[in-house]
Structure 1
Amino acid sequence: MQILSKAVVAASLLALGGTAIALPAQAETREETAARYGVRTSVLDISLSPSGNKIAFIAPGPQHSEVLNVIDLSGDASVKTIAGNTEIKADMTQCEWATESRLVCKVWAMSQNERGLLLPFDRMFAVNDDGSEFRTLTERRSLSALGYRQDGGDIVALDVAEKDGHILMTREYVKEFSTGTRTANEKEGLGVDLVDVVDGSRHPLERPDAEATRYIADQTGRVRIKVRSLVDGGGILKGDQTYVYRTKDSDAWKRLEDITIDGETVNGFTAVAVDSDRDVAFGFVTRDGFDALAEVTLDGSAKGRMLLARDDVDVDRLIRIGRQRRVVGASYATEKREVEYFDKELKALAGSLSQALPETPLINIVGASADENRLLIVASSDTQPGTSYLFDKKTKSLEPLLAIRDYLVDRTMGAMTSIAYPASDGTSIPGYLTLPPGKEAVGLPAIVLPHGGPSARDEWGFDWIVQFFVARGYAVLQPNYRGSSGYGEAWYGRNGFKAWDVAIGDVNDAGRWLVSQGIADPERLAIAGWSYGGYAALQSQVLDPELFKAVVAIAPVTDLKYLREDARGYTNSRVVSRFIGEGPHIDAGSPLRHAEKFSAPVALFHGTLDLNVDVRHSRAMARELRKAGKQVSYSEYEDLQHNLSDSKVRTEMLLEIDAFLTKALGG
């Protein structure tokens, strides 16, 4: 097999229309640095064929486009582009091998109805690995449909027993109106079809259920669990889920309830996978205030046992490999993410890989051949964006394939260090500090960078925006403030909106700690964030206008009332309203309503098709700050969504942020 060298990878990406940035012989300009970090990930998605001889990967093309590429590792190992997407309102997000020569892919897109309501939707298609025989797999919308089909289908199973070339795929049924005909469809909800990936023909396997949101199949391709999200008479989600399952010898659905784990009754079980050989479902439960992994029998007894639990952090991920998505372990994040393998062979292999790749300890198995003899692995760290490898169990060979971020290969990055600092009430707040390499941690320009969510957390690993700031000379502190997920129920508390004062207090205390330790120059201390992180950056001014000397907010929430109103046109409106809550915190916790308190200059950035946070949040914030006579700049990006996944736009944004901070902090 030919190993793909960095030169080959770079040449291949250049052929796709990417912007070449040669490694500089001298210090690069800020424009070059912004372009290097602003370009999207070189490998957006990657998949290994059943034989293990081919890989398919989605890469970014110019600006917002994506291209689907195939590499035959048993041949000349050249990159062949077989499909692409140039629609700015859509993203090609996923491609998997249905057979050795046929790929099934998903495109996720955004539209807008006549009332201006954003409507996300996705579509599935199949294509041969040479680009021929393109076929849409999503059922076409009938002209008589009474609604819009947003759900284009999800893969429930790639391999179906005795059905080569077929997959299980969900299908959204939409009612149709009828005038003088009996053929109109009266069904609605989510079902499952057996789909031929070659000719696109389909056979219904699971009839539609109006409350079904997900189906879980076992490794043979038999649907064993249905997840139902309960709704009221108006179709609005209540926020509760139920699970029904099938025993091995019956097709009848049975409610999964009265579950006991190690002899104790549990109130909640979130099923995520099924093992038919052992006849169990894997899922998450809460134990002593922390998420834990358990298994429950599907024989009718609903008895289970705990598989992995901790008393300091949540166990939050199931590790699965192969075409049957075999469960092999679970993971959790303390200072770094750790994986515990249940499979003895993989546990030993993980240890060997860690020794072979000591500089990239974050090792993920992202694909496997049908016999699992060949594994597709991505290894990364805080200072290395990652490399994909092919591991062959028989030959014990580990061969590099593609750099995950080609334009950052061999760059010197800032190391991310786990730290803890005291909040004003004495609580120890965990976080990560990244310093510019080669600089003493004294009197630096610094940025506090709270994460989004707020039901999320930062983890040890590569972060492109952190490393851009570090490359420009800033120290960066990422606080996992109270209201973050991953640390159990007590830490999560009432969430970062209802208890915004606690969360934002922790964020501000991160800045004070940087100054107290002598790391940050108090006159060159800034705050930046995306989504909730942008909200936190703005709201920090409401609590302490003098602490930060510059504020950067990307796609920020600015008004909690807006956030509730924005959800009214969607089925999750009650869930969102419950999450935000009612009371005086709505006014006190909305930076839009306190523009007069701001002291630091503000830079705002937002896309116009942002489903997570409507663009009106930034538009109104900019307007109110200007009315209050405050310094504010606002950049808006037409037709882009929450993540601003456009290389040109991200590069321009980084340049604007850099110039803004340089001016505001006097750098």
Structure 2
Amino acid sequence: MFSSARALLAAMTLVLCGAAEAAAAQTPPPLTAYSQLPAVSSVQLSPDGANIASIRRDAGSVRVVAMSREGEILASVDIGESQVRSVMWASNDHVLILSTSNQQVGGFRGRNLFLIGDILNVRTGRLVRALNDADISVYNFLMSYDRVVRNGRPALIVTGMTTHEGEYTGDPYLVDLDTGRGKRIGRGQSDTRFHLVGLDGETIARTAYDTESGRWRLSVPAAMGWTDIRSTTALLDTPGLAGVGRTPGTLLITDMDADGRERLMEINVATREEVEIDLPGSSTSTLSGPDGRLVGLGYIEDFQKYQLFEPKLERAWAAISGALPSRQLTITSFSDNFDQVVFHVQGSGEPGGYYLFDGPTSRLSLVRRQYPGVAPAQMAAVSLINYTAADGLAMQGYLTLPPGRDPRNLPLIMYPHGGPAARDYVGFDYTAQALASRGYAVFQPNFRGSDGISQAFLEAGYGEWGGKMQSDLSDGVKALVDRGVVDPARVCIVGASYGGYAAMAGMTLDAGTYRCGVATAGVSDLAAMVRSEESPGYRGRRNPTVRYWQRFMGFTNYNDPSLAARSPAQQARRLQGPLLLIHGRNDTVVPYEQSELMLRAATTAGKTNVRLVPLEGEDHSLSTAAGRAKELEETVTFLLENNPPD
């Protein structure tokens, strides 16, 4: 492998679009260079590898652009205010544009984010909405989608929510790419969630899940309808259908064994025999070829890695990982014959960019950078820090140091991630980089309960919300202080989502550690948050979201006194230091009212140094350019006032 990779690199031509990067200026980039939505995202190759589609953001506009590999524009459509998330080629002539819409829909409680699909014909420029019409009443949001060739014609197969005679069923629809009209080609049940189809458009399998009972089923077509070939009860950690296995007639299932270990099982549809595929690491993802066949496994250590079964992909990975070492590389797209591969690259002098590798010519070219206002030389260095929690558990996190400053006695921003079952890794984090450019060291710990480290590390966080998950952060501060990197008198905490909770908890439950705090979209009252997830007849452990909260919060009923003891709004009297709250009014994950609760509680407790900044029209993920810019500007202004770096 090593020698062949070196031989390939020796023959490879590296083409970088544009002139060489100039040396970074002494003054840092403006904050808008970091807070802008990425200039390019979701770069996807057409099935034949001839063309590229992507989402482009320039001068306030958001466009989906389809172009040839040589740069000729085939189609460009202004998306306007829609929350576009990704694109996918539905054929060599059609691009599926996927957006989310915040709606209140019959059969669903409250407002929710639904996935909407628009189909762009790159030859005519015409744009149509998938499921804008159908042969039966169906909502026009998509539960799943895939490209197929049916009766010799390219088409989409989607799972739509049929509303017929008072019933709601997840059914497969064949969608015409030029008209968007859907035709129901099968009938699901009320608990059907996903249909797996082959490239020929025939349904291979489907899954069903009853959220109340936790019953999950895998079914395949039979002579008389459908037959279940696998079923289980999983109130959490639901199995998943990952696609087709390594050989025809097999399916891939992700699940957990009796010990809570992540597994990837290959099941033979005919014999029901199951074979476990050895996983190369934690939080493994699958890569599938155009026929659904498994072609690779991805996993994250500190850097993304792959175990690839397709030789052309393996050669491409060896080439680009050798040409761009010490960077976070992710395979994002490839042609049907695997000759062309698109990679996302970030870290170590690369503030996020997409590269195209052409196998036949061994040519690597830059498609576009995501943050053109940040020169590679202006990126702050990121390093891995290992430390030990107070109870002896091994911990790790990533320290971003301010450029040009002596790494001693620095002001620190503790920046825990959301989730909590998520993780940070080496790469370009726009908030961490922006704060470092203003003179702060930034620490992103993977506290217990973080995913992608190990199953045991994830489970160590169960029941520790506001407990050891919180003290893991202050233990990280202590470790950096002991090493002389951080001034203990100049530490603030900033976070969003679960990180927003941690910021409020740091200023109340862990008072004295942090000088100030910024909480974006954070949970302030645990019991109120859980109650907001309920609906009539769908309470307690019958509700899957409540089950998730119970796992990490460790409560059995809402009268558990530990909920109030771990709720910053209930402990507002203990608040020490200024606290900034930021929240999007359209947040469907953590209600805006959670920040209002914290503000009212602090005011009632006589605390005058708490302020709430509403983000109009913004969701939980800060999906709008205006929302991201305001959130970062307010955060930096607040930190400069309350914890100046100089």
**One-letter amino acid of the structure 1 residue matched with residue 17 of structure 2:** S
Secondary structure of the corresponding residue to residue 55 of structure 2: strand
Tell me the residue number matched to 2:627: 649
Tell me the residue number matched to 2:554: none
Q: Which whole-Å deviations, capped at 9, do the CAs of 1:510-545 have from their partners, x for residues lacking one?
A: 122222221111121111111000101111233321
1:561 is matched with which residue: 519, 524, 527? 527
Whole-angstrom CA distance in 2 between matches of 1:281 and 1:524: 54
Whole-angstrom CA distance in 2 between matches of 1:111 and 1:277: 41
1:300 is matched with which residue: 258, 271, 289? 271
**One-letter amino acid of the structure 1 residue matched with residue 317 of structure 2:** A
Alignment partner of 1:46 is 2:43: yes
Identify if the C-alpha distance between structure 1 residues 169 and 116 changes in structure 2 by more than 3 Å, giving closer, same or farther.
closer
2:249 is matched with which residue: 279, 283, 287? 279
Alignment partner of 1:158 is 2:147: yes
Indicate if the aligned counterparts of 1:245 and 1:256 stay in contact, CA closer than 8 A: no
**One-letter amino acid of the structure 1 residue matched with residue 631 of structure 2:** M
1:57 is matched with which residue: 42, 54, 57? 54
Tell me the residue number matched to 1:319: 287
Identify if the C-alpha distance between structure 1 residues 500 and 356 changes in structure 2 by more than 3 Å, giving closer, same or farther.
same
Tell me the residue number matched to 1:387: 353
Matches within 5 A, 1:178-193: 185=165, 187-193=167-173
Indicate if the aligned counterparts of 1:294 and 1:308 stay in contact, CA closer than 8 A: no
Shift of 1:467: 0.7
Tell me the residue number matched to 1:635: 613
2:398 is matched with which residue: 432, 436, 452? 432
TM (norm. structure 1) is 0.85
2:194 is matched with which residue: 198, 204, 214? 214
Whole-angstrom CA distance in 2 between matches of 1:111 and 1:258: 32
2:544 is matched with which residue: 548, 570, 575? 575
Whole-angstrom CA distance in 2 between matches of 1:331 and 1:318: 6
Tell me the residue number matched to 2:590: 613
Q: Which whole-Å deviations, capped at 9, do the CAs of 1:134-162 have from their partners, x for residues lacking one?
A: 222124599x97xx93x612554312354
Alignment partner of 1:243 is 2:236: no
Shift of 1:174: 1.2
**One-letter amino acid of the structure 2 residue matched with residue 646 of structure 1:** T
Q: Which whole-Å deviations, capped at 9, do the CAs of 1:166-198 have from their partners, x for residues lacking one?
A: 1211121013xxxxxxxxx45521010122212
Tell me the residue number matched to 1:18: none
1:407 is matched with which residue: 361, 366, 373? 373
**One-letter amino acid of the structure 1 residue matched with residue 502 of structure 2:** A
Shift of 1:121: 2.3
Tell me the residue number matched to 2:439: 473
Whole-angstrom CA distance in 2 between matches of 1:268 and 1:639: 33
Indicate if the aligned counterparts of 1:550 and 1:602 stay in contact, CA closer than 8 A: yes
Q: Which whole-Å deviations, capped at 9, do the CAs of 1:315-358 have from their partners, x for residues lacking one?
A: 4311235x445422212222322222233442233122222222
1:512 is matched with which residue: 478, 484, 507? 478
Alignment partner of 1:255 is 2:229: yes
Deviates further, 440-449 or 371-380: 371-380
Identify if the C-alpha distance between structure 1 residues 239 and 441 changes in structure 2 by more than 3 Å, giving closer, same or farther.
farther
Tell me the residue number matched to 2:32: 35
Whole-angstrom CA distance in 1 between matches of 2:533 and 2:474: 29
Whole-angstrom CA distance in 2 between matches of 1:441 and 1:4: 33
Deviates further, 596-605 or 159-168: 159-168
**One-letter amino acid of the structure 2 residue matched with residue 526 of structure 1:** C
Matches within 5 A, 1:566-605: 566-569=532-535, 574-581=543-550, 582=557, 583-605=560-582
2:329 is matched with which residue: 349, 354, 363? 363
Matches within 5 A, 1:517-536: 517-536=483-502
**One-letter amino acid of the structure 2 residue matched with residue 106 of structure 1:** L
Alignment partner of 1:72 is 2:72: no
Whole-angstrom CA distance in 2 between matches of 1:489 and 1:359: 26
Indicate if the aligned counterparts of 1:421 and 1:428 stay in contact, CA closer than 8 A: yes
Q: Which whole-Å deviations, capped at 9, do the CAs of 1:97-153 have from their partners, x for residues lacking one?
A: 2222222222211135899932322322212115632222124599x97xx93x612
Shift of 1:217: 2.4
Shift of 1:640: 0.8
Indicate if the aligned counterparts of 2:316 and 2:357 stay in contact, CA closer than 8 A: no
Shift of 1:412: 2.2
Alignment partner of 1:664 is 2:639: no
Shift of 1:220: 4.1
Whole-angstrom CA distance in 1 between matches of 2:491 and 2:124: 51
Whole-angstrom CA distance in 2 between matches of 1:50 and 1:4: 25
Identity %: 24
Whole-angstrom CA distance in 1 between matches of 2:190 and 2:547: 23
Whole-angstrom CA distance in 2 between matches of 1:596 and 1:305: 53
Identify if the C-alpha distance between structure 1 residues 188 and 101 changes in structure 2 by more than 3 Å, giving closer, same or farther.
same
Q: Which whole-Å deviations, capped at 9, do the CAs of 1:483-536 have from their partners, x for residues lacking one?
A: 112233332237466543011111121122222221111121111111000101
Matches within 5 A, 1:413-492: 413-492=379-458
Indicate if the aligned counterparts of 1:218 and 1:276 stay in contact, CA closer than 8 A: no
Secondary structure of the corresponding residue to residue 412 of structure 2: strand
Whole-angstrom CA distance in 2 between matches of 1:128 and 1:2: 32
Identify if the C-alpha distance between structure 1 residues 80 and 496 changes in structure 2 by more than 3 Å, giving closer, same or farther.
farther
Whole-angstrom CA distance in 1 between matches of 2:423 and 2:15: 36
Whole-angstrom CA distance in 1 between matches of 2:448 and 2:639: 27
**One-letter amino acid of the structure 2 residue matched with residue 577 of structure 1:** V
Shift of 1:588: 1.4
Tell me the residue number matched to 1:182: none
Secondary structure of the corresponding residue to residue 207 of structure 1: coil
Whole-angstrom CA distance in 2 between matches of 1:168 and 1:111: 23
Indicate if the aligned counterparts of 1:258 and 1:302 stay in contact, CA closer than 8 A: no
Deviates further, 377-386 or 516-525: 377-386
Shift of 1:466: 0.9
Indicate if the aligned counterparts of 1:238 and 1:575 stay in contact, CA closer than 8 A: no
Whole-angstrom CA distance in 2 between matches of 1:116 and 1:299: 40
Whole-angstrom CA distance in 2 between matches of 1:612 and 1:162: 42
Tell me the residue number matched to 1:121: 114
Mark the runs of 5 or more structure 2 residues left unpaired by the alignment.
1-12, 551-556
Whole-angstrom CA distance in 1 between matches of 2:186 and 2:539: 25
Matches within 5 A, 1:163-202: 163-175=152-164, 185=165, 187-202=167-182
Identify if the C-alpha distance between structure 1 residues 356 and 7 changes in structure 2 by more than 3 Å, giving closer, same or farther.
closer
Identify if the C-alpha distance between structure 1 residues 624 and 326 changes in structure 2 by more than 3 Å, giving closer, same or farther.
same
Indicate if the aligned counterparts of 1:125 and 1:138 stay in contact, CA closer than 8 A: no
Deviates further, 592-601 or 497-506: 497-506
Secondary structure of the corresponding residue to residue 149 of structure 2: coil
Identify if the C-alpha distance between structure 1 residues 48 and 358 changes in structure 2 by more than 3 Å, giving closer, same or farther.
same
Shift of 1:577: 2.0
Identify if the C-alpha distance between structure 1 residues 637 and 24 changes in structure 2 by more than 3 Å, giving closer, same or farther.
farther
Mark the runs of 5 or more structure 1 residues left unpaired by the alignment.
9-21, 176-184, 232-236, 260-266
Whole-angstrom CA distance in 1 between matches of 2:440 and 2:426: 18
Identify if the C-alpha distance between structure 1 residues 370 and 543 changes in structure 2 by more than 3 Å, giving closer, same or farther.
same
Indicate if the aligned counterparts of 2:246 and 2:295 stay in contact, CA closer than 8 A: no
Whole-angstrom CA distance in 2 between matches of 1:370 and 1:458: 32
Shift of 1:289: 4.3
Whole-angstrom CA distance in 2 between matches of 1:514 and 1:276: 47
**One-letter amino acid of the structure 2 residue matched with residue 48 of structure 1:** L
Q: Which whole-Å deviations, capped at 9, do the CAs of 1:35-58 have from their partners, x for residues lacking one?
A: 110101111322212232211111
Indicate if the aligned counterparts of 2:409 and 2:486 stay in contact, CA closer than 8 A: yes
Secondary structure of the corresponding residue to residue 490 of structure 1: helix
